[in-house]
Each structure stands twice: as structure tokens, then as C-alpha cells.
Amino acid sequence: MERLRKIGFSKLTPLEEASDLLLSNISLTTVEVVETSSSLGRFLAESIKSGLNIPPFDRSAMDGYAVKAEDTFGSSPQNPRNLKLVGKIEIGEKSEGIQMKSGEAIRISTGAAIPLGADAVVKIEDTKIEEANISIYLPIVPGKNVSRKGEDIPQDSIVLNSGTEIFSSHIALLSSLGIETVKVHSRPKVSVFATGDELVEVGQMLGENQIYNSNSPMISNLTQQYGGTVIREETLKDDKILLKKKLYESVEDSDLVIFTGGTSVGTQDFLPETIQENGTILVHGIAIKPGSPVLIGVVEDKIVFCLPGTPVAAYLCFVELVGMALRKMMGASEIDPRTETVAKMSRDVPVSGMGYIHFLRVKIEKLGNEIIAHPVKLKGSGIISSLVQSDGIVKIHPYQEGLKKDDKVFVIRLK
């Protein structure tokens, strides 16, 4: 009992304070160079400057006729202006040497270079052609239907900032600038351990009072979802010597270590004292439900998480803390990628005790112009089905006695 009193958390740290303390102890991973085409989901380690103008020349924004805008002034369906067709320019063809004069027009395709002398493009549907004569039925101003050189991206401008998460649209942009490779932060290497004498791997026979290990596959996949690379995934018995051995093996080759289970104050919960004896405990016990026993420590300058063993609590602690740590390691400018939806509560939800942030799991439904949040579960940190049935969570803050029907809330999306 004396050991339990020493490792037990005497106070609960507010979530925001715990997050700040965690993030202040995060170091960036190394920088590596990857091909632009393979950079999806990575985070830029440098800002990207354009080496050219996009578009690189004045070009037509649509199929039509390149003209001098002043030649169309005063035209109308009743009084069209007539121009002489003198040529044609397709996309990819050079327009050098083509000098258009007043009273002339050149057939032009979308994306083709604007010829010298022209300053606008008339849409095909606003014209009528008879042999080499074109009737213009609508006046246009200079620059109409023309994409100017550098209009999209001027040369030497910053197009992507350091810390940007690369999506397919960014890859298109980088490729359009001729950028073959980019500098990104390496993916954090993560070791994942599930602890507990009761755990059995999927595929094995369950014994009496045993359960299948669902934490390891969940945490490993969450790690990948947030950009990390799992280099070790094991299930461990509640053995202090074994835990210490695996901890030291992991901090040697991992950027971050995650344990689930064994972090509370039970007789078999050895992780807190193992961390305390071999490193530093930053936080043990956070004022959240579910998930309050979570521990964050540092061993050999590596962040170690000890998440609760119950799956829902482990999941919520991951997305609230571990996921942000992984993205901070990769230099992400936005460390929390989750989106929020404003919704209206469908019924009252009381809380059993104040002083905690309660994570309410909710299902959202669109009714007319409103989005309704239906409570799925407030308690029950081991009920995995409540995560599957939920679209997001609502944070009930420590000073709130609960939520009332029709209260407007922010739903943090899980899907």
C-alpha cells in the first residue's frame, strides 16, 4: 500500500495545462528529402518559393477569338462589329511572330498564348462566323477572358509555408512549379505496448477472465493516421522488470513510446513507478473523464505516454494528447487536425461531478437547417461500441453542471 500511495496521483492537472507542458517538451524530428509525388501527408520543413510565374505567359481563359477590345466597343446583337479572321492558335503552340492588327481576330483555344496586339478574348457563343468574317455581338473590356502572366502565382512569391501538411492539391501546385523534391520532417518512430495479464491476442483461445487485446491495433492505426511509423507493437504482462526492459529498448530507437494499461494505482500498475525511477513524470492524472489516469513522462529525452487500459479512454487520450504530440514533432503548423460542427443538443445531459472535462460521445443528425447532437455515452470507458456509434465528442467543461436540451455545442468530429 505504501508503494501505491507514492505513485498515486495526488491532484489532477487541467487538460490545457497538461497539453502545454507536453508540447513544451516536444522536439522536432529530423529533416529528409522526398519526391514531391510521394509527399502526401508529410509536413514541409521549409517554405516553398515559386521559381516562375503561373501562368508563365498571358493565356486565353476560354475558347474564343483573340481581339483588340476596342474593336468590340459599341457592338450589340442588333449592331454587331465585324472582324477579319486571320489565324488560329492552339494550346502549346507558339504565338511569337503573330502580330494582330486592328479589325482582326484570331481563333484561340483555352490555355493558348495570347498573340501580340490582342488584349481580350471574345467567347465563341458571343460571335457568329461566316467564312473569314466574324460578327461580334457583345462589347468586352481589355483583359476580358485573359489569364495574365503570374496572375495565379507570381515569381519569387511564397506559395507554401513551413509546417504545411501536404495534400494532393499541394502536390499539384508543387508539380506545376517544376519542384521535384521537398524537405519534410521524418515520420516519428513509435513503439506501442499493451499491458495486462488478462490480454489475449486475436486468433488465440480466450481463457477464463481474459479479453482480446484491442488497444494495440487501435493505437497503432491511430499512430499511422496521425503520421507516425510503428516500429514495435507488443503485448506485455504486468511485470515490472519486463516493463523496464521494454521501456529502455524503445527509447533507444523510438521518438515516442506508448503504453496502454497499468497506469492507475492498482497493485499491478507498475508503469508510474517505472517511469519515475528511470525518468521524469510530467503529468500523472488529468482532469478528464474518461481518461483521468493518463501519464506523460520523459525517459532519455523521449516522450512516454501511459494511457488508460480501457479502449475508449485510451482512444480519447490519444486524439487529445498523443496525436498533437506526433504532429508537433513533424513541425505541423496546425497540430490538431480535427474539425468542429456546431449542433444543438437533443436532450439534457447531467454530469456526476464537476471539476473535470467530460467527453460526451454524440451522434449528429441533420434535421432541416439544423444539426442535432444525440448523446450516445457519457460514462463507460470500456464500451467500444460507443465510439463506433459516435460521430464526435462534446466537451462539457469543468464549471458546467451538464448540458440542456437545445444548448448550442461544438462537436469535435471523430470521423
Q: What is the average per-residue pLDDT within 276-292?
A: 93
Reading phi first (left if > 0) and then psi (alpha if -120 to 50, else beta), residue 163 is in left
Q: State residue 178's pLDDT score.
A: 94
Q: What is the pTM of this model?
A: 0.86
% residues pLDDT > 70 (the chain): 95
- Name all domains of the chain by residue range, CATH numbers in brackets: 2-30+186-329 (3.40.980.10), 32-54+151-185 (3.90.105.10), 59-147 (2.170.190.11), 340-413 (2.40.340.10)
- The separation between CA 402 and the C-alpha centre of its own chain, rounded to angstroms, equals 30
pLDDT(20) > 90: yes
Q: What is the average per-residue pLDDT within 340-369?
A: 94
Tell me the DSSP string of 25-92.
Answer: T--PPPEEEEEGGG-TT-BBSS-EE-SS-BSSS-EESSSEEEE-GGGGTT--SSS-EEEEEEEEE-TT
362 and 374 Cβ atoms separated by less than 8 Å = yes
Q: What sign results for the dihedral spanned by CA atoms 171, 173, 179, 185?
A: negative
- Confidence class of residue 5 from pLDDT cuts 50, 70 and 90? very low
| Three-class SS state of 323 | helix
- Strand segments, DSSP code E, in 112-218 are 120-123, 127-130, 133-136, 146-147, 158-160, 181-185, 189-195, 199-200, 211-212
C-alpha cell belonging to residue 9 = 496521483
How do residues 152-209 score in pLDDT, each as one tens digit?
899 999 999 999 999 999 999 999 999 999 999 999 999 999 998 888 788 788 888 8
C-alpha cell belonging to residue 23 = 508540447
Q: How many CB atoms lie within 10 A of CB 75?
A: 21
Q: How many CB atoms lie within 10 A of CB 266?
A: 13
